Structure 1
Amino acid sequence: MHARFAPVRDCFYDLFAAGRETGAALTIWYDGTPVVDLVGGTRAAVPPGAVVTAAGADDPWRPDTLVNVYSVGKPVVALCLLTLVDRGLVDLDAPVSAYWPEFRTPATVRQVLSHTAGLPAFPVPRPAETVADWALLCADLAAAEPEWTPGSVAGEHAWTYGHLVGELVRRVDGRPVGRFLAEEIAGPWRLDLGFGLDAADQRRCAALSYADPAWPDRTRGEPGSLRARALDNPPGGRDVTMVNSPLWRSAEIPAVNLHATASALARLYAGLLAGGTLDGVRRFSPELVAEATRVQYDGPDLVLDRRASWTLGMGWEPDGSWGMGGIGGSSAWADPERGYTFAYATSRLAEHDRVDELVEALHSCL
């Protein structure tokens, strides 16, 4: 690591020393080159307040450790559909029903990608195990009435986003979105990430754990609210018993169960920041990247309950950066103005203050 970025390294390891982190990875590219690539802690789940045992210490976090990064995966599934847009196979302003005939909501592909389609929650209450039933959840969405007129307002499609976008990929291309990602993006760009892990990749996963056992309730929002409905059907998405299970890890739930390394996420954004070409391999046209990272909606978000700016799959910040954070603390984005990409992948479910402090340290170095 370049000495210039020593404050970032120190901040990263201070999180472990203070007990705020138990297992995580951080990768930063600057000016087209990786300058920070750190891992720390263990892959084992550590209860709040527990001391890491000798057994836990024997399972260190490695550069190839995969972890569930929640909504950090939304831009990744969006890029699968945008690949088909780039190839002229999907029109952003065509109705979804042009590709998915059973789909009743009069939303366009662009509205689905920018969280304005009006389907932020699965409409039929389903049991937890249906997280693995792709066809059932997509059929529920196809038959649903929208919560608002598509295009009129946004509400993060917290769980439904991956099924809406991924089913469009499957309808047009024929491949499930996990296979499409592996063959069309992750493979060519050498990205260690994916949806729907096989047994070998599951053995590389870190176990998610709570910094505070009250975290699932705290993140739900008011009972019965749109946010609660969006996050809790099917139930179990913030329950470590579920998200650490083979059922969850093997399923394709693209809005919330991308498993990735920090280095893969920073590398992905480096390719986008370079206009769609990485190590001489072009996956996207510069025009597609420009459209994908342009603000499509700016205004109230009914699920987040705050103002939001959405591109085609990413959040956009006032400093011009674009990317996505995940509930629990993982995050990845590109900052075109400052010339860096940043990825933090953690198994410790808590707030985003860890990322805030790392960014502050990074900006002090630039």
Structure 2
Amino acid sequence: MRDVLAAQLADGRQLGAAVAVRVGDREVVDVWGGHADPDRARPWSGDTIVNVWSTTKGVVALAFHMLVDRGRLDLDAPVRKYWPEFTNDAVLVRHLVSHRAGLAAFREPTTAEELADWNLMITRLADTQPWWPPGTASGYHALTYGFLVGELIHRVTGSSVGEFLDREAAGPTGADFRIGLSPADNHRVATLVQPPPPDPAAFHAMFAQLNPVALAVLTNPVVGPDQGNAGYWRAAQIPAANGHATARAVATLYGAFAGGGVAGGQRLLGAAQAERAREGQGACVDLVIGDAGLGGRASELGLGLWLSGKDGHYGPNPRAVGHDGFGGSFGLADPEAGLAVGHVMNLMGNVIADDPRKMELIEAVYSCL
């Protein structure tokens, strides 16, 4: 693992990065290198944190499953049971966590700055007409997922997602994972960088052929390093996309799904509930990722995590699960191998899923088992 990460740093495909691996509940890899800023003035250190974008979603799913396990949420209840202002009776709790609610994008023009206004976001989503009949297909809820699942968490606990995770998961396990960053932590946050696509014409052509749902998800609003590096973004509760973490924190919390509910020596949820996260909700060509990132190939979501499947998105075990973050970060959990992996970085790639650096690291992990 060290050699693969070192090679990626040496050939310029990484600026700064870290990777961590846990087997069982034992840390076996925790390595980092490179720089936390584009000027290469700040070396990446063991406590450097970075925005992990949608890798955050797997940790939000952990919070969700903890509440299902405690009997606070019912997967098959209508969302309105917990959120009375939510207008669509056809949307079930399981639809929100599995990207099948039909609420993948905002219908109103939305700015990146507005994402920091929790009440505005949940008010809009509570009234949004679904883009497709709920439960009939998956369509990646890139930004809306965190508000939808997060509001359920808020309704039943009275806490924000970030507060709940800090109190119930990250704090007890010692995982350096935050949603809603304190200004006191800004000095150790890596700066995100995204180079232009290698083939701008092909990149723009891809956007030109997107279906209306995918286009709305990816452009309303447009987010990238400029937003991710901004103070308002770091401080906000945007649980689909603004978790800040070390690689070891990602591996620790994803480890709950690999270790029968135990992470960092703490039982966060029961083994049966940890297993339920892998409950496939139906393979299909995702209306967003299938069109924009997987070349029309079918994939399958469990309850909050993607299944590795026959294409091996998270290694050779088709029932391993994980989640990619925009630009290349990822978390992986393989219960059969007792394996959890976290990777974080600041030089963002230009593919939506299965960044080549990710796939190299996963191949290296499994070659060691």
Relative to the length of structure 2, the TM-score reads: 0.89
**Identical amino acids, percent of aligned pairs:** 42
Look up the equivalent residue of 1:123 and give its one-letter code: R
Q: 1:32 to 1:81 in 2, by over 3 A?
A: closer
Other-structure match for 2:263: 278
Quick check: 1:96–1:103 contact (8 Å CA) kept in 2?
A: yes
Cα distance in 2 for residues equivalent to 1:146 and 1:20? 39
Contact conserved, 1:97 with 1:103, CA < 8 A, in 2?
Answer: yes
Aligned to 1:165: 149
1:82 maps onto 2:65 in alignment: yes
Change (3 A) 1:101 1:322: same
Structure 2 equivalent of residue 362 of structure 1: 365
1:26-175 paired onto structure 2 within 5 Å: 26-44=19-37, 46=38, 56-57=40-41, 59-105=42-88, 106-175=90-159
Residues 334, 341 of structure 1: 8 Å contact kept: yes
Name 1:315's counterpart in structure 2.
306
What does residue range 169-248 of structure 1 map to in structure 2 within 5 Å? 169-212=153-196, 218=203, 221-222=207-208, 225-235=212-222, 237-238=223-224, 240-248=225-233
Per-residue CA deviation, residues 122-179 of structure 1 (Å, 9 max, x unaligned), is 1211233202111101111000111111111110111100000001111111111111
Following TM superposition, the consecutive aligned residue runs of length 4 or more in structure 1 with deviations greater than 4 angstroms are 213-217
Aligned length: 347
d(CA) in 2 for partners of 1:194, 1:204: 13
Q: In the alignment, what sits opposite 1:349?
A: 348
Q: Following TM superposition, by how much is the alpha carbon of 1:216 offset from its aligned partner in structure 2, in angstroms?
A: 9.8
Q: In the TM superposition, what whole-angstrom CA distance separates every residue of 1:95-116 from its partner, at most 9, and x where no partner exists?
A: 0011111111221001111111
**Residue of structure 2 in register with 1:326 after alignment:** 325
Q: Return closer, same or farther for 1:150/1:206 CA change in 2, 3 Å cut-off.
A: same
Moved more, 92-101 or 299-308: 299-308
Deviates more, 1:315-324 or 1:223-232: 223-232
Q: Secondary structure at the match of 1:345?
A: strand
Q: Which residue type is aligned with residue 247 of structure 1?
A: Y
Alpha-carbon distance change, 224 to 272 in structure 1, aligned in 2, over 3 angstroms: closer
CA spacing shift, 1:296–1:347, aligned 2, 3 Å: same
Tell me how far 1:215 sits from its aligned partner.
Answer: 9.1
Q: CA deviation at 1:280?
A: 4.1
Preserved CA contact (<8 Å) 1:114 1:297: no
TM-aligned CA distance change 1:260 to 1:117, over 3 Å: same
Q: Unpaired segments of 5 or more residues in structure 2?
A: 291-296, 310-316
SS of the residue corresponding to residue 162 of structure 1 reads helix
Alpha-carbon deviation of 1:189? 1.3
Alignment gaps of 5+ in structure 1: 1-7, 47-51
- Two-structure CA RMSD over aligned residues (Å): 1.9
